[in-house]
Amino acid sequence: MGRRPDPRTESTKMRIKKALLEYLCDSPFERITVKNICDSAGIDRSTFYTHYRNLSATLDEIIDEALEEEPSRKPYHCTLTDGQYNCPYGICDKVREHPEYGAVFFNESLTEKIIDRISSYSEAKYVASLTHQSEILRV
């Protein structure tokens, strides 16, 4: 049985991520500093580094949270492609529900990073699916 997350830890991490999302609304990721985030979140640098290795790790966690599948969510039928594409992540829906994610997904300076995270996030499921299909074919 897993440990319950400490509410103080969760609160601090949430403040850090919120500060980063707010900065991304006005600044390119490359210009945001740990000091900016610490000042905005009301923490010191050692607290930041207790929770995250660097700002890139913080951004990765934000992207991963946005990509997490919600079991109750039906596949999103993308209106941008006339319903021809079923997005496995429902990113448009999530941005609609959580506008703060727009600062990440509509930030041109982060396009490569987002594609890389989506690729990494999907890799394990893709390999498992291929393995399952090859087992069915062998039977």
Rounded to whole angstroms, the Cα distance separating 78 from 70 reads 17
Taking the C-alpha atoms of residue 122 and residue 20, their distance in angstroms, rounded to an integer, is 25
Q: Which of 63, 47, 56 is nearest to 15 (CA)?
A: 47
Q: Tell me which amino acid residue 135 is.
A: E
Task: Please name which of 10, 11, 12 lies closest in space to residue 45, comparing C-alpha atoms.
Answer: 12
| Fold of domain 7-138 | Tetracycline Repressor; domain 2 (1.10.357)
Rg (CA), the chain: 18
State how far the alpha carbon of 97 is from the alpha carbons of 100, 102, 131, in Å: 9, 10, 35
d(CA 129, CA 9): 35
Residues 6+ apart with CB under 8 A from 7: none
How far is residue 43's CA from residue 48's CA, in Å, rounded to a whole number? 7
One digit per residue, pLDDT tens: the chain, 139 residues?
567 878 899 999 999 999 999 999 999 999 999 999 999 999 999 999 999 999 999 999 999 888 876 655 565 555 555 555 566 667 777 788 888 888 998 888 899 998 888 888 778 777 777 777 776 655 5
Joined tokens for residue 82: 């006339």
Residue type, 81: T
pLDDT at 70: 60
